[in-house]
Amino acid sequence: MSEPESLAQVARPTLRSLRFVSQLDPGVTPLVEFRDPYPRWAVVSTVAVDPLPAAPQRPGDESLVLFISPALETEWAARAHAWLQGTPVHAAPAVRATLDEGWLLWRPGQAVVVCPEDQLDAYLNLLARFFFYESEVQRLEEELAADWHHAEADLSLAHEVTAKDLGRQAQLGRMTERTLSRRMRHVRLEPRLDQLPAGLPPAQRRAARALRRQTRIASRLEFLDGQLETYEYIYELANQRMGEYTLFRREYLVEWLIVIVLALEVVFVIADMFLNYYMQ
């Protein structure tokens, strides 16, 4: 076998699947263990390159990483770009980071990395973390956007509650629980995206910073914080007004019961006096 043929065989692109699971199968060693915002494990497996599979429908559950040796960059670059751009799942352009000996293209659920083979594991670890945490940020964005109409409908409860609104207590409770749960997830996510993993090599640290900068992670987290504050303020006031009105109705009913009991007592006293007067 000639030297160029041997090099091409060694440097053949590899495609890795990253699955983010809530339970590990027996005997499986995870690539990364996540504790925030809830327990998950990144499990890696090798996928056939020919043909390149379509982008995963749910990047938070599975993502694909195509690794290309610098020796095959010219041959595979166009195909790799087409793989990223040819999927209808994501409309946004891919994010690019320049590496010491190559480059990286990233989009939700997919990445292409041109790097030497000995750096593959380090970039795979980095991308597993970024895929997972970025998908959780996107999940929060989608959930908050989907619930705005609920918040707008409940806005009136923040200043006034009437008898007909008592039937909305269950919905109010669900939205309050969702809001608090999302705040907890945001608080647990933020430090994971602000701090880089300890021991990350310099080249991977620069790539991680480039990914965070170009995907606007910091500003997205800040925007989510503002949205969550709005939700919290609405539901804090709404629960306060609902509690005040519920207490008012309870006290109102108790007062009416007291009035009724007193009225009955007066009736019995008058009846007793009337009977005693006529029976003498």
Q: Are 39 and 20 a contacting pair, CB within 8 Å? A: no
Same domain, 32 and 71: yes
Same domain, 194 and 113: no
Same domain, 89 and 176: no
Q: Tell me how far apart the alpha carbons of residues 41 and 23 are, in angstroms, rounded to a whole number.
A: 7
Structure tokens of 131? 């895929």
Does 262 have pLDDT greater than 60? yes
* Final residue before a domain boundary, out of 104, 121, 138: 121
What's residue 162's pLDDT?
80
Domain count, the chain: 2
- Identify whether 268 is part of a domain: no
Same domain, 211 and 115: no
Burial class (CB in 10 A: 0-12, 13-18, 19+), 74: exposed
Same domain, 98 and 160: no
Same domain, 220 and 173: yes
Same domain, 98 and 168: no
Query: At a CB cut-off of 8 Å and minimum separation 6, what does 119 contact?
Result: 101, 201, 203, 204
Q: Tell me how far apart the alpha carbons of residues 123 and 116 are, in angstroms, rounded to a whole number.
A: 10
- Identify whether 266 is part of a domain: no
If you average pLDDT over residues 202-231, what whole number do you get?
93
- Strand 62-68 versus strand 110-114 pairing type: parallel
Same domain, 112 and 61: yes
Q: Which domain holds residue 201?
A: 123-255
Residue 202: pLDDT band with limits 50, 70, 90: confident
pLDDT in tens, 90-110: 556 789 998 888 999 999 999
Query: At a CB cut-off of 8 Å and minimum separation 6, what does 194 contact?
Result: 218
pLDDT in tens, 3-20: 444 434 445 899 999 999
- Identify whether 194 is part of a domain: yes
Q: CA dist 113 to 72, 146, 155, 176, 177, Å?
A: 12, 34, 47, 42, 41
Residue 256: pLDDT band with limits 50, 70, 90: low
Same domain, 58 and 102: yes
Does 265 have pLDDT greater than 70? yes
- Identify whether 270 is part of a domain: no
Same domain, 40 and 159: no
- Identify whether 114 is part of a domain: yes
Same domain, 164 and 46: no
